[in-house]
Amino acid sequence: MIKKVKNIIFFIFLAGALWSDKLSPALEEVSHIDLNIYDGIGTLLLHWSVSDEIEIKEVNVFRKAGLKDDFKLSANISSGEISNNRFLDINCKNSIRYFYYVEVIDIDNNRYKSDHLKPSFGSIKKGNIQKIKLEHTALKLFRAIIREEIILDNIGINVQSVDALINLMSEEVIDIDLWVENFPLNAINDVILLFEAEKKYYFEDDVLIKFQNNEQLYRNHFLLTPEEWKSETKNIFATAKNNWFILKDSFQDYVKVINSLSPIIILGADNQSNKAIVELLVVNNSELDQNDVKLSFFDEHIAINNSEILLNQVFQRSIPENWTYAKLIINDKEVDHIELIKDEKISKTLKNEIIPTKNITNLKMSKESSEIWINEISWKSGSNSLSIEVAGTYTGSNKFIISANGEDIWALDFDPSFELQYIDSTFNINFSDDIGHILIEHNFVENNETHTLELFKVYAKDDLNNHRFPDGGKWIKTDKNTFGSKNIDKISAMDADLIPELFVLYQNYPNPFNSTTRISFDLLQDATLSLYVTDATGRIKTTFSDKEFYNSGKYNFDWNAESFSTGVYFFTINAEVEGYLPILFSRKMIYLK
């Protein structure tokens, strides 16, 4: 009996060993590669995971329709074509179950397979694939949904105005510069009506649900897993919702900027050897009926007729080659001015900056943002003395150079710092009488390439005192130099005895901060207040109050900086009481994501 039991155990062991040896080659081919299949309308999405240690050369996708078929190579994907270890199978038919396995080949030709003994499988969802717009991304899909909501809710609204607004909503950073440089002037009235008479809040949960209900139609085409789809749609919705409120808040600031402009302004000029032109923009033609409009250079004038103004929003006028500048005159009043620079195409920003450009196409709020900028400039013709102040928060990543008439005169030397720094220097400029002017260039050097940020034209025989106010802001004339320190205007320079004690502005808390911080102040008297946040270049990012009346008391404002980049910002309060000139005070804060 015992012998029989031993024989049975032996044969079981032997059979097991033989069975194991027989299957081992197949088992050795199966690596720990997980393969998941996600169904969608007309498509199946394959997503596999493979060790980061494997350097992939190519991937083979094998497929069979039903259990009885044999596996056939469905796709060969080279390493450069692999999209996040995913493959979209669009060649599928209804009511068929498809089985898959993938084979990963590394650079040493080692092969790793997902389980093909128990392969992953899936069947497509039935639906109308003709509805799929393949050019869509998840963001474009959401924009199309919001666009439809707005148009249906505002019968008769100009579709181009809606599109322009939605384009802004999709930007990472929304500020006054974005409005000025990207939003068409003829769409302003549509958006005023849209924001003022908003009949429907476009970011309720039903809109998110409508967005997410496109999952079966679009998720696979976006190469997203179900969890990724859920996360992606929520993030897009939340970002758009936040941006919508920022757009509404910043729109009034944009309108104020546009309303402050003259009916026509100069966009730029192109002064080449064979021709010279001035590019102009009609801001508001309703204010120009029967007005006398002309370009002038000393006693030379070029008239601009009303029919030309009414037919075009942007237009050019040729000017004589001997003109070195052009003034725009409306009813005998100078409303704009541009200096012409030989062999240069230039744009003029709303901060009165002159910048080189390839195309003069639209409004520019300011020059390209940079760590260091020229903040003040003075020219004394009697002594040929040029004084320049530069300011900024320098990280040490770029090299900045200032040149005069093509000769480098100052390689800026800053110590890296989070603090706003001021450095000034004075130069004696000698040049021949036939030049007549100094062309100053503010350049930065990156990867051994020089790029011009800003141009200044200074006439040799004319004294000049200009500064940016506030620091990094618009260029204005001044009769008070503040080289090496913060720029102030006449009001700030008044005797301190004439200034009443109006407010106490506290340091924001927390500081530094990573999302939201609180700005607090005590107002000691009733006053008219402006409160705003600027970046290190002086650009206004958020306006909490603009010349609004406040009663005395304690006030708190929360600032959410999530839509802005990491860096140094300033919050500024400007207070006025009757009988006194305004008081301006700022504090620095640091945003760290």
How far is it, in rounded angstroms, from Cα 478 to Cα 484?
Answer: 16
pLDDT at 26: 41
Q: Residue 476 forms beta bridges with which residues?
A: 467
Neighbours of 367 (CB within 10 A): 20
* Residue of higher predicted confidence among 382 and 62: 62
Closest CA to 561 of 525, 522, 523, 508: 508
pLDDT tops 60 at residue 21: no
Residue 318 CA: distances (Å) to CA of 22, 128, 269, 295, 302: 89, 57, 10, 10, 9
Q: How far apart are CA 215 and CA 219, in angstroms?
A: 5
- 501-510 in b/e burial notation, b at 16+ Cβ within 10 A? ebbebeebee
Which has more confidence, 273 or 542? 542
| Second CATH level (architecture) for the domain 372-471 | Sandwich (2.60)
φ/ψ of residue 323, rounded to 5: -70, 135
Q: What's domain 496-591's architecture? A: Sandwich (2.60)
Q: What is the pLDDT of residues 439-452, one digit of tens each?
A: 999 999 888 889 99
448 dihedral zone (left: phi>0; alpha: psi -120 to 50; beta): left
Please tell me the predicted confidence (pLDDT) of residue 481. 79
Topology match between the domains 264-356 and 496-591: yes
- Where are the domains positioned within the chain? 23-130, 132-259, 264-356, 372-471, 496-591
Model pTM score: 0.70
Note the pLDDT tens digit of each residue in 352-362. Answer: 999 999 988 88
What are 46-55's pLDDT values in tens digits? Answer: 999 999 889 9
pLDDT single digits (tens) 62-91: 999 998 899 999 999 998 898 889 999 999
Q: Percentage of residues in the chain with pLDDT exceeding 70?
A: 88
Q: What is the pLDDT of residue 188?
A: 92
**What is the architecture, at CATH level 2, of domain 264-356?**
Sandwich (2.60)
Give the number of other CB atoms < 10 A from CB of residue 559: 20
* Domain topology for 23-130: Immunoglobulin-like (2.60.40)
Residue 193 has pLDDT above 70, yes or no: yes
pLDDT higher than 60, residue 453: yes
Instruction: Classify residue 93 as exposed, middle or buried by CB count within 10 Å of its CB (0-12, 13-18, 19+).
Output: exposed
- What average pLDDT is seen over the chain? 86
User: Residue 84 in contact with residue 59, Cβ under 8 Å?
Assistant: no
> What residues contact residue 308 under an 8 Å CB cut-off, 6+ apart?
315
Q: Looking at residue 204, what is its pLDDT?
A: 84
Please give the pLDDT value at position 484.
73
What sections of 90-174 are H helices per DSSP? 138-153, 159-169
User: pLDDT: is 27 or 518 the higher one?
Assistant: 518
* 496 has a pLDDT exceeding 60: no
DSSP code at position 447? T
Cβ-contact 266, 348 below 8 angstroms: yes
What are the angstrom distances between the C-alpha of 184 and each of 167, 172, 562?
12, 19, 27
More confident residue, 29 or 306: 306
Of 20-34, 262-276, 356-370, give the lowest mean pLDDT range. 20-34
pLDDT tens figures, 543-576: 999 888 888 888 999 999 988 888 888 999 988 8
At residue 8, the pLDDT reads 44
Yes or no: say if 70 and 58 are a contact pair by the CB < 8 Å rule: no
User: Over 80: is that where the pLDDT of 309 sits?
Assistant: no
Mind listing the pLDDT tens digit for each residue in 129-177? Answer: 766 676 678 999 999 999 999 998 888 899 999 999 999 998 888 888 9
CB atoms within 10 A of CB 408: 12
Residue 19 has pLDDT above 50, yes or no: no
Give the dihedral of Cα atoms 448, 451, 456, 458; nearest 10 deg: 40
Cα distance between residue 292 and residue 210, in whole Å:
55
Q: Where are the alpha helices (DSSP H) in 154-225?
A: 159-169, 176-182, 188-196, 205-212, 215-218
Residue 349 identity (one-letter amino acid): T
CA distances from 163 to 148, 191, 248, 489 (A): 10, 11, 16, 41
Each residue of 101-139: pLDDT tens digit?
Answer: 999 999 999 999 999 899 999 999 988 776 667 667 899
The answer, yes or no, to whether residue 417 has pLDDT greater than 60, is yes
pLDDT at 493 over 70: no
